[in-house]
A = this chain, B = another copy of it.
Amino acid sequence: MGKSMSIKPVSDNVIRRLPKYLRKLNEMLDANVRRTSSFVIADVLGLTASQVRQDLNCFGEFGHQGYGYDVSTLKEGIEDILGMNRGFNAIMVGVGNIGHSLADNFCFSDWGVKLIGIFDVDKKLIGTKVNGIEIYDVGTIVDFIAENRVDMAVLCIPKRGAKEMAALLAENGIEAIWNFTNEDLFEPYNQSIVENVHFSDSLLRLSYRLTERNDNK
């Protein structure tokens, strides 16, 4: 494992499933289950056993013929693949409704990411804390990035400022943006890696599938 894995490109659909495997493996460990199989994992996740084996084979040999998977080893392997042990630091930019809700409720550290600072323009918020994390003036963000290791930015500002802020962050060496602004930031135009989060995408998939089901009745 380790560096050699990163050479083989892995399909986005596989990457999409890894967090699901991880959740189930964590539940197994909580329930003191130490050994599992592609059949069991497939069953709880609504996949086929061969799909599970194929997914996990993308990253090398986790399983052993006739034994299955050691839950703890597999979990650590997936955490390693997902970069959860790289000590990534994140800052949040914008602490309105969604930013506040994330800072307050989303457990970044469960996913190997440390939220080390929050930035906003609102003078009333600057100097206060959310969930123990200080809110700084957004005007100091470039200095903060220069003085601290910052790997990711959680972008929660209004849509209209999103592109400009993304460019500023990229210029200052932020390589990954978790984007909640509702402005799609596309990578051909950005030096940073971007994950655009749109709640509506998932609602619309649900709506599509319900429509399809209704029409086929």
Contacts and interface: CB of A to CB of B under 8 A. Distances in A.
Main secondary structure of the interface of A (DSSP, over half): helix
Contacts of A208: 15, 18, 81-83
Interface string A99-112: 00110111010111
A148 interface: no
Interface in A187-202: 187-189, 193-195, 197-202
B207 A86 contact: yes
Q: How many copies does the complex hold?
A: 2
Interface in A85-128: 86, 88, 97-98, 101-102, 104-106, 108, 110-113
Nearest to A202: B195
A216 interface: yes
A178 B209 CA distance: 12
Given A19-B204, A178-B203, A198-B19, A186 B84 contact: no
